[in-house]
Structure 1
Amino acid sequence: MKYLYVTSVLLLFLVTSCVSKKKIVYFGDKKKVIVNSRLQQYEPTIQKDDLLNINVSAANAEAVLPFNIYETPILDNSIGSAKPLPYLVNASGEIKFPVLGVLKVTGMTTNELSEFLHTKLAEYISNPIINISTINFKVTVLGEVNKPGTYQIQNQRITIVEALGLAGDLTINGNRDITLIRERDGERVFIPIDITNKALFNSPYYYLSQNDLIYVEPNKSKINSSGIGANTSVIFTSIATFISIIAILIQ
């Protein structure tokens, strides 16, 4: 009986191996956090290689035809079935816009670009309406999450928490100090993010930019267990046998 008790305690210790609650629980600090108002108004800016859907409309449908580009030429009464083409932001951060020519657009939000085009097009069209969206806005989540992958974002506004939610949340083996990888001015920047700390909600990286990558490393328990692998049962059996021998010797 004494042998069984010692074995059970030892195996329980090995399986549960102490992990601090602070290293597991998200946003563990109980203090109230006031979110920065600038973050609440966050809008991503246009970047190189973005695909922009820009649609110009007005009461006079014919007046806007020169300012939209379509997959096939517009014939009489065929505008409703014509497929618009996106604008690719080139390596110089520019797009080629009909009539207006080459426009520098990187660094603007879609709202700012819409206002800029409205001012320019008002010289040609009465009360133009401009709708702009980024059609290739995506983020990638890899590592210790339940559903790793690349996710297309429709509304162009997503937080780290929402991206982790899309990926099915971290596994129990995921390190809560995650890494955000972002391209900035042609360079990749690696940014550590602690999701156990409420300061995340006021981080300038709380909202993601297009093409951001989140990587969740395995924690120490997962790394250590990977060294054991399929031999786990063998090791536990060996320990139990060793304890059994010791118990017999000390009786």
Structure 2
Amino acid sequence: MMRYVSRFFMLCAIFLIVGCRSNKTIPYFKNIPKSEYNKIEQAAYTELKIKEDDILDITIQTADLNASSAVNEGATNNSVVAGSGQTRVSGFVVDKNGEVELPVLGRIEVRGLTSYEARSAIRKKADEFFVDPTVQVRFVNFKVTVIGEVQRPSSYTMPSERVTILDAIGLAGDLTIYGKRENVLLIRETDTGKELVQFNLNDAQIFKSPYYYLKQNDIIYVEPSKGKIASAESSRFSVIAIVASLLSTAALIITRL
């Protein structure tokens, strides 16, 4: 009897923990007064820099479409895998020297440039071969991974360079009821190692953070709350209790045979 009473109180405690979170910590940006809705400051956007192993979609067009077809067909034929388990994509890979090798144009250094700056550098080279070339450059492998207490943890390839941490969380289906809004961790790979940044989604200061805009290969981790841990423990204890009960029943039947 005491065992069932203990389990009852444990379940009550779990419901109280979850209930408290839903009332106190689930709403985002709670500290923004309504009078300040039109005055929220936001961090300045910094354009992405091209790095080694990035995959770029590079397109060159001229008045003579046949003249630039060799370059564009080269991108189509240059199929690579943009991450583990992902589908193949077409593009030019930035090698260890920070260069891309384009048909006809040859090798061009793009490391450390923005997509706009790379476009200018490639156009300058293309002017040597084509008449009034138009160049487009965009990232193919702008990938962000969202894991932890979200609805759809996965790696997402972004269609645009201007992506915020809220965009990534939205793609992952938002946090679950067990996700800790006050402890969302951003993991970023830099030239000197990994950089860890903590976000509090309950605080409007997130909009001012220099990490508000994401970079390629960023990882976002949402920590589970105590309620999720308690729920998991309760489920484990329930399984153990059921197994123990079945064993006790089996032992009782055997002793009566």
1:27 counterpart residue number:
29
1:90 to 92, 95, 108: 95
Bigger shift: 187-196 or 59-68?
A: 59-68
Quote the Cα distance in structure 2 between the aligned partners of 1:63 and 1:55: 12
1:189 paired to 2:191:
no
TM (normalized to structure 2)?
Answer: 0.72
The farther-off stretch of 205-214 and 16-25 is 16-25
Q: Which residue of 1 aligns with 2:207?
A: 201
Q: Select 2:220's aligned residue among 207, 214, 232.
A: 214
Q: 1:231 to 1:9 in 2, by over 3 A?
A: closer
In 2 relative to 1, CA 10–50 (structure 1 residues): closer, same or farther, beyond 3 Å? closer
Give 1:38 deviation, angstroms: 2.6
Retained in 2: the 8 A contact 1:118–1:130?
Answer: yes
Matches within 5 A, 1:1-251: 15-17=15-17, 18-19=20-21, 23-31=25-33, 32=36, 33-36=39-42, 38-39=44-45, 42-65=46-69, 67-68=71-72, 70=74, 86-176=91-181, 177-185=183-191, 187-231=193-237
Q: Secondary structure at the match of 1:157?
A: coil
Tell me which amino acid in the other structure corresponds to 1:210: Q
Contact 1:50/1:136 (<8 A) preserved? yes
SS in 2 for 1:179: strand
Q: Structure 1: which amino acid aligns with 2:206?
A: L
Equivalent-residue separation in structure 1 for 2:73 and 2:12 (angstroms): 67
Counterpart residue number, 1:81: none
Residue 23 of structure 1 aligns with an amino acid whose one-letter code is: T
Which structure would you say has the larger Rg?
1
- Per-residue CA distance 1:186-241 (angstroms, 9 max, x = gap): 62222111111111112111111111111111012222333332436999xxxxxx
Number of aligned residues: 215
Q: CA RMSD in A?
A: 3.0
Aligned-pair identity in percent equals 37
Conserved? CA contact 2:67–2:130, under 8 Å = yes
Once the two structures are TM-superposed, the CA of residue 112 in structure 1 deviates from its matched residue by 1.5
- In structure 2, the partner of 1:247 is none
Seen in structure 2, the aligned counterparts of structure 1 residues 194 and 106 have a Cα distance that, compared at 3 Å, is farther
TM-score, scaled to structure 1: 0.73
| Native 8 Å contact 2:199 2:206 kept in 1 | yes
Opposite residue 48 of structure 2, the aligned amino acid is: P
Take 2:239 and 2:126, find their aligned partners in 1: how far apart are those partners?
A: 72
**Aligned counterparts of 2:206 and 2:43: Cα–Cα separation in 1:** 14
Contact 2:14-2:227 at 8 Å conserved across structures: no
> What 5-or-longer segments of structure 2 have no aligned partner?
1-7, 78-88, 242-257
